Amino acid sequence: MTAAVVFDLDGVLLESEQVWNEAKEALVRERGGRWSDRAPRDMMGMSSPEWSRYVRDDLGVDLDPEQISADVVARLERIYRERLPWIEGAREAVERLAARWPLGLASSSNREIIDLFLELSGLAGLFAVTVSSEEVERGKPAPDVYLDAARRLGVRPEDCTAVEDSENGIRAAKAAGMRVIALPNSAWPPDAEALALADAVIESLEELTPERVGA
Q: Where are the domains of the chain?
A: 4-15+85-214, 17-82
In this prediction, residue 215 carries a pLDDT of 81
> Which strands make up the sheet holding 179-182, listed edge to edge?
129-132, 103-107, 4-7, 160-164, 179-182, 200-201
| Total-model pTM | 0.89
DSSP state of 126: G
Q: Which residues of the chain have pLDDT under 70?
A: none
Confidence at residue 95, expressed as pLDDT on a 0 to 100 scale: 98
pLDDT score for 185 = 87
Give the active site residues: 8, 10
pLDDT of the residue at 76: 94
Which CATH fold topology does 4-15+85-214 show? Rossmann fold (3.40.50)
Long-range contact set of residues 122-131: C-beta below 8 Å, sequence gap at least 24: 123/91, 123/94, 126/94, 126/95, 126/98, 127/98, 127/103, 128/4, 128/102, 128/103, 128/104, 128/152, 128/153, 129/104, 129/105, 129/153, 130/104, 130/105, 130/106, 131/104, 131/105, 131/106, 131/107
| Predicted pLDDT at 186 | 82
Q: Can 4-15+85-214 and 17-82 be said to share one CATH topology?
A: no
| pLDDT of res. 141 | 95
Q: Which CATH number is 17-82 given?
A: 1.10.150
